[in-house]
Chain A
Amino acid sequence: DGGITQSPKYLFRKEGQNVTLSCEQNLNHDAMYWYRQDPGQGLRLIYYSQIVNDFQKGDIAEGYSVSREKKESFPLTVTSAQKNPTAFYLCASSIGQDYSPLHFGNGTRLTVT
């Protein structure tokens, strides 16, 4: 079945370390997104990419970096510059045309201590 895979489901890191979250999709979607969710809050957009080798900052890009070298992959790196990295991270994709809906992965819960 086609879908979006985020791995790992839970991730633990020490403060000051960079960490990369994986997001892979086999839906042949052009657009991909990263959102952050804090407890009891909605989703906040970190980065998004409409095509390979191109991406744009969302509302809270500071302290994060992304790459889009392949259509199916959109990894997110949480750098040591991110002040409060502990959160639930969600990756999504869409066809990228017209009004196609977003398809989400099941998220990675990152804990930094």
Chain B
Amino acid sequence: DAKTTQPTSMDCAEGRAANLPCNHSTISGNEYVYWYRQIHSQGPQYIIHGLKNNETNEMASLIITEDRKSSTLILPHATLRDTAVYYCIVRLYRDDKIIFGKGTRLHILP
């Protein structure tokens, strides 16, 4: 079973920041949090990952709470092309049995 819980769907207005939450209350100390997204009928695309510090790259920011039991993916200026299913997963070091849940379907509204 997936180790994360995400809302089934969310809406966000174009141009606004999209904040996608993820709960991982059973995360262990050496498990990383990863985010991927899947645009319809394509393979998932890696976005970002982190352990305990906040992370930022050209696509998004990842905010992890101090207790590491939850995180938020932030798309700073959402566009229509950000409409996709977003998956939050946790992964143990060198654990190749990587489990995906059902993700959050993000709708960007014009």
Interface set of A (CB-CB < 8 Å, partner B) = 4, 31, 33, 35, 40-45, 48, 50, 56, 58-59, 88, 90, 92, 96-99, 101-107, 109
Indicate if the CB atoms of A42 and B102 lie closer than 8 Å.
yes
CA distance A50 to B45 in the complex (A): 21
Residues of A within 8 A of B32 (CB): 99
Closest B residue to A101 using CB positions: B46
- How extensive is the interface on chain B, given as a class? 20 to 34
Q: Using a CB–CB distance below 8 Å, which chain B residues touch chain A?
A: 2, 32, 34, 36, 41-46, 49, 87, 91, 93-94, 96-103
Highest count of chain B CB atoms <10 Å: which of A56, A92, A105, A109: A92
Specify the main secondary structure of chain B where it touches its partner.
loop
When the two chains form their complex, are residues A102 and B46 in contact, meaning their CB atoms are under 8 A apart? yes
Report whether A45 and B91 are in contact in the complex, using a CB–CB cutoff of 8 Å.
Answer: no
In the complex, 9 of the A-B residue pairs with CB atoms within 8 angstroms, ordered by the A residue number, are A40-B102, A42-B102, A44-B100, A45-B98, A58-B97, A90-B44, A96-B94, A107-B41, A109-B41
Query: B residues within 8 A CB of A40?
Result: 102
